[in-house]
Copies of this chain bind each other. A is one copy, B any other.
Amino acid sequence: MRPTVHDIAAAAGVSLATVDRVLNRRPGVRIVTREKVEQAIERIGYVRDVAAANLAKGRVYPLIFILPSGDNSFMRGLEEEIRAAILRSPVERTEISIVTVPAFDAGALVAALDEAAAVSPAGVAVVAVDSPDVVAAVDRLRVGHIPVVTLVSDLTGSARDHFAGIDNIAAGRTAASLMGRFLGHRPGPVAVLAGSMLVRDHRDRLEGFLAVMEEMFPDHRLLPVIEGQDDPARVARLIGETLAASPEIAGIYSLGAGNRGLIAALKKRGKGPPICVIAHELTPHTRAALEEGQIDAVLNQDAGHEVRSAIRVLKAKADGMAVVGAQERIRIDIFLKDNLPFEQGSETNLPFEQGSRNEPEQGRKD
């Protein structure tokens, strides 16, 4: 049996209460006593039973998620995943609230962060707008010992505890690599569609994409970056104009949102030489476009994984506990029409269900 607090109390010749005090770094222990206990802990290799501790504490983790409002499909999917986590709250001892703020609005985000700080939650997860006052607001939280995880888009130079999102520079490089190979010797310029340079994920993707295009595929001219503000209507108009102005266009990299507008513009264009299109985030729209051939590849980040990871990390940080590094690394998923995941749905198995014979759990489209 693994050692318990009793064992360490016995080994150190003190009482349970004292052991508990040093375990939880609470005051009221002489330095020598403390050291005696710490040595005993070390010696017998004690590891705290978190479940028992939480039981005794009746601990719950009030968590706040801050994300952009608006009809951005990816963000709404993210919100869905947070709601799914809320359903699991009783089991996971969390108490999650969702706050939405207008996209790309640093001021609103700062206000939301300060409000969050006011209720002193166990942790805050935030889709960051990359600006100095947001950094300052996050750092205020950290000064108040509230763990902060940035979600999807990171915050340059802040004291956030962790970033739950993909390596966006690598994502941009990957997009360029696929674009170059898919195009082969087909000539023609490549257009880049971004959302806004105010968020770091978009900036990083652009940086990675440009680097590889220039280094590996210098023959393809790059058109000036289009900023669509993640707004489908605006995107549709801008892409329409671009296609009209440069009919010989060979590829489009859409590194932000608003892909509904892109797809609409592509469909409206109708016949013409094929255009290689690479976009981000698997939503109902991009999925359909992938299946129908308007889009060639989709780079995706698993919103469910990001949410679960953010929760795990926030809880761990709140407890000063370790996290499994590999488990928290968010992968860049690459989807072609051939490896689309089975239509999602909350596929939670029913409790007490008995396994039937080999149901296909991982369908493919066909």
Contacts and interface: CB of A to CB of B under 8 A. Distances in A.
Interface of A: 1-2, 47, 49-52, 54-55, 58, 88, 90-91, 142, 154, 156-163, 166-167, 169-171, 173-174, 176-178, 181-182, 184-185, 208, 212, 296, 302, 304-305, 308, 317, 320-327, 329-334, 336-342, 344, 346-352, 355, 357-358, 361-364
A338 B90 contact: no
Contacts of A208: 338
A91 B47 contact: yes
Contact of A308 (B185, B327, B357): B327
Contacts of A182: 181-182
A86 B184 CA distance: 47
Identical copies of this chain, number: 2
A363 B170 CA distance: 9
A349 B322 contact: yes
A51 to B, nearest CB: 4
Given A182-B181, A355-B161, A355-B162, A174 B322 contact: no
Majority DSSP secondary structure for residues of A touching B:
loop
Given A170-B362, A317-B355, 14 more contacts: A88-B324, A157-B358, A167-B339, A169-B364, A178-B336, A181-B181, A321-B351, A322-B348, A322-B349, A325-B346, A325-B361, A329-B342, A331-B331, A331-B341
A362 B325 contact: no
A170 B362 CA distance: 9
A52 B59 CA distance: 13
Contacts of A47: 90-91
A36 B357 CA distance: 34
Nearest to A81: B326
Nearest to A50: B91
30 contacts: A47-B91, A50-B91, A51-B51, A51-B54, A55-B55, A154-B358, A157-B358, A159-B355, A162-B355, A167-B362, A167-B363, A170-B339, A170-B362, A177-B336, A177-B338, A181-B181, A181-B296, A182-B182, A304-B326, A308-B324, A321-B351, A323-B348, A325-B349, A325-B361, A329-B342, A330-B362, A331-B333, A333-B333, A334-B334, A334-B339
B341 A329 contact: yes
Most buried by B among A166, A178, A305, A339: A339
